[in-house]
Amino acid sequence: MSKLIRGITKKRRGRPVTTGKGTLIGVRLLDPSLAALDDWIGRQREPDISRPEAIRRLVEIGLTVKARPKQPSPGRAKRAHEMAAKQLDRLVDRSAPVEEQASRKQRLLKGPGEFSKVRVDRAKTKDE
């Protein structure tokens, strides 16, 4: 009789398991999204990752990133506006005409136009 050698397992047949047991979710992507996914894969350190692996990584990144900041309440926004207006009244150049002072103050309270597109805490208006 021959002795059995323990600790040696037979090689399994079929495709190797890469992600373990999980729920299969089928996703259809349109060409622009698929192209963006392929571009993202190309920018990774290991450009030979598969599309499913890339989607898993992107989902993980999306779930760990912080959400956008909360929208400020209208009351807090109004109070901040009033406080800024008071500070600007203290700094006003008294040599300018009253209309010019008001115009300058309004421009400073509104903020530069270049930044209005960048602000995520403000709703976009029709003219922006």
What is the C-alpha separation between 26 and 115, in angstroms, rounded?
41
Q: What local confidence, expressed as pLDDT, does residue 92 receive? A: 73
Which amino acid belongs to residue 45? R
pLDDT per position as a tens digit, 68-126? 777 777 888 788 878 888 888 887 777 888 888 888 888 777 777 776 666 666 666 65
pTM above 0.75, yes or no: no
How far is Cα of residue 24 from the mean position of the Cα atoms in its chain?
26
- pLDDT tens digit sequence for 26-82: 889 999 999 999 999 999 988 789 999 999 999 999 898 877 777 777 888 788 878
The residue with greater pLDDT, 128 or 27, is 27
Coil, strand or helix at 78: helix
Q: How far apart are CA 77 and CA 14, in angstroms?
A: 62
> Rounded to an integer, what is the distance from CA 125 to the centroid of its chain?
21
* Whether the Cβ atoms of residue 91 and residue 105 lie closer than 8 Å to each other: no
